[in-house]
Structure 1
Amino acid sequence: MSTLMSTEVPTDPRSRGAGNKILLDLIRRAPGRALDCGCGAGDSARLLAGRGWSVTGITSDPAALAVAERVCETVHLYDLTKGLPFAADGSYDLVLLSHVLEHLADPAGLLAEARRVVAGDGLVVVALPNVLHYSQRVRFVRGRFEYSRTGVMDTAHLRFFTFDSALRLVRDSGLDVVTTLPDGGLPWRRLHGVLPSNVTGRLDRWAVRRRPNLLCSRAVFLARPLPSWAA
């Protein structure tokens, strides 16, 4: 374990549990070296290690560090606002930024660092919450702009994104987006027990692809570094 200067960049609860599997199932490549930025207690790292990846984690939570060390080969206690100076250029096959960028004043800066440390044929995986999800729009229309302990209005969030603005952020950072996943669905929870799951699933996927800013709760992107890009 390497201990470096730390400030709090919490891991969003949305990035834990089943949501992690949905994200990681998009990765279709042979395992190699992975860097999990904002690894927390190692939820994603555990899944990656189980699939054969060698995982380096970065967390800002001293309490989570000891847990993350059980599944990561190396864990850094570190302030992500200072970049990734301990990582060599092109040293990782996968860089994971799951529900981390919204906690930073300069998310583009960390994306640039992710692009630097990922291999030329590697992947940068980004997940961000959508501030214009329909449930949040209803709150705004009702005049409610209130922070909470979790979710898109988490008190620790410094930046807010829609699906479209998150996509622009990734593309403007010298990354070629090869896969997009607007993760969400239609607001018909009561009908999920009435209609067959295969029907609701297909309709959810069809609708959220057409109106991602309205229907997705989070935006997920897989991207590769552009070799000719210069900041």
Structure 2
Amino acid sequence: MTEIDKSTRLAAPYVNAGNDVVLSLVPAGVRRILDVGCGGGDNARHLRATHPGVEIVGLTHSEEEVEIARPYLDAIHVVDLDRGLSDAALEAWGAPFDLLLFSHVLENLIDPLATLRRCLTRLQPGGYAVIAVPNVLEWRTRMKFLRGHFVYTEHGILDRAHMRFFTYETASTELVAPIEGLALLDQRPRGALPLGPLRRIGAGRPLWSALDRAGLRRRPNLFSRETAILARWGGGS
């Protein structure tokens, strides 16, 4: 069933190849997923392939995305998360979920923590939340700041739609630690070192891949372009 609230403002469709670091954090055995900010359904498409039988409900802010994402979702709802989520809206999503997925959506909200808390009321105790946000202190953005440039863009870390900014270090302290009952299980960076011409040498792939892994392990707040978090919900007040 598809529910469309005509009163919500339209947003441009968000379509990509799916987020592999986010998908890698989804635990085996989850049966029912709420994909908050589902975009064109790219993560849902991959989840259906890797988790057979999974049921996925999507939330989007764009009616255009409804048509794009519909084949990969069991239900989809158009909502404006910044306007708050009523009890009726939460109940319309159906039975409680095993996992909440927030892939690059919370940074677009005025009060991401409030939205996260409301969505957690629809998560089973013992269920999981996977959250991905960009790291504003990735080395490319630092270089822009050092040169005195702070210009919003149409896409990326400085996307003009971003309302809140996080780093690798603050993502968990801002989005997990303040919520009673939500426990951090894992956090993974994704990014790359500034290796320049080395990346154009095909035979150099094993070397630069190893350097990327080492750099992300030692200095994730410098080299990660985004971070993904896995947390477990034990219930809370």
TM-score, shorter chain, exceeding 0.5: yes
Aligned equivalent of 2:72: 71
Asked whether 1:144 is paired with 2:149, we answer yes
Letter paired with 1:87: L
- Cα drift, residue 90 of structure 1: 7.5
Say if 2:21 and 2:188, in contact at 8 Å, map to a contact too.
no
**Cα distance between partner residues in 1 of 2:86 and 2:231:** 19
Secondary structure of 1:131's partner? coil
Call closer, same or farther: CA 1:26–1:199 in 2, change over 3 Å: farther
Say if 1:114 and 1:124, in contact at 8 Å, map to a contact too.
no
Question: Structure 1 stretches of 5 or more lacking a match?
Answer: none
Say if 1:130 and 1:152, in contact at 8 Å, map to a contact too.
yes
What does residue range 104-183 of structure 1 map to in structure 2 within 5 Å? 104-169=109-174, 170-174=176-180, 175-183=182-190
Q: How many residues align?
A: 226
Asked whether 1:87 is paired with 2:90, we answer yes
RMSD: 2.1
Aligned equivalent of 1:6: 8
Asked whether 1:208 is paired with 2:216, we answer yes
Q: TM-score normalised to the size of structure 2? A: 0.87
Say if 1:12 and 1:151, in contact at 8 Å, map to a contact too.
no
- Cα drift, residue 11 of structure 1: 7.1
Deviations 1:144-200 (A, max 9, x none): 010010011111111111111111022222321111101112111421344643332
Say if 2:97 and 2:127, in contact at 8 Å, map to a contact too.
yes
Q: TM-score normalised to the size of structure 1? A: 0.89
Call closer, same or farther: CA 1:179–1:187 in 2, change over 3 Å: same
Say if 1:11 and 1:38, in contact at 8 Å, map to a contact too.
no
**Cα distance between partner residues in 1 of 2:103 and 2:13:** 8
Deviations 1:9-43 (A, max 9, x none): 66766xx315x133212223213000001111111
Aligned equivalent of 1:25: 24
Say if 2:33 and 2:56, in contact at 8 Å, map to a contact too.
yes
Percent of residue pairs identical:
32
Say if 1:8 and 1:79, in contact at 8 Å, map to a contact too.
no
Say if 1:10 and 1:61, in contact at 8 Å, map to a contact too.
yes
**Cα distance between partner residues in 1 of 2:29 and 2:11:** 30
Say if 1:11 and 1:100, in contact at 8 Å, map to a contact too.
no
